Amino acid sequence: MWIDFGPLVVFLVTNFIFKDAFIATGALMAAVLIAVIASLKIEHKIPPMTLFTAIAVGIFGGLTIWMQDEEFIKIKLTIINVLFGVVLLGGVAMGHSFLKSLLGQSLALSDEAWRSLTVRYALFFLATAGINEIVRRQVDWDTYVNFKVFGVLGLTVIFSLTQAPFLNRHIQRSGGGGTGSGSSPQI
């Protein structure tokens, strides 16, 4: 858990103490590097999301510090969410659910339910990107940090919780062989 959320905590605390986008970004970059090293030491591999985060933070954090422009680290969220949304929708268009590839070992859902869940998350990522674009253009740095840490995390938790009824209806129970209610998934 600390490997995943530690860098975010470091970013938030550093920004709170120093009130400086560049110091906070540098601390985030260092914390992500430590998370990658910790993953290698503990798990003997780098999970795909940790690697993706490290690359994105390295690129956008590096640009933020090099160009002395906080907009680069702010736009990272937009670009990552658009990328996730487009990749998920592209997968669905090609008949593949990337969410199933990531979570299929944990959740037993029909292919149609995976498709619906994937579309829902893709649209959520795209909506989050749009919200980030509006917020990043309208607020100061400290307000943006609070939005990113608490607002986006809160939206993600709320959205994920709203998917629980869908999952409950469509999860395939052991021995039942069905998708719960038997109805087709609704997007």
pLDDT at 174: 62
- Please list, in sequence order, all residues whose beta carbon lies within 8 angstroms of the beta carbon of residue 58, skipping any fewer than 6 positions away: 29, 32
Q: What is the pLDDT of residues 56-97, one digit of tens each?
A: 999 999 999 999 999 999 999 999 999 999 999 999 999 999
The parts of the chain modelled with pLDDT lower than 50 are 176-185
Q: What are phi and psi of 109, to 5 degrees?
A: -125, 155
- Each domain of the chain, given as residue ranges in start order, spans 1-69, 70-175
Using DSSP's 3-state secondary structure scheme, residue 131 falls into: helix
pLDDT at 180: 44
Q: What are phi and psi of 171, to 5 degrees?
A: -70, 140
The CA-based dihedral angle spanning residues 80, 83, 85, 86, taken in that order and rounded to the nearest 10 degrees = 170
DSSP one-letter code for 180 = S
pLDDT at 175: 52
pLDDT at 176: 47
Model pTM score: 0.86
pLDDT at 187: 57
pLDDT at 48: 84
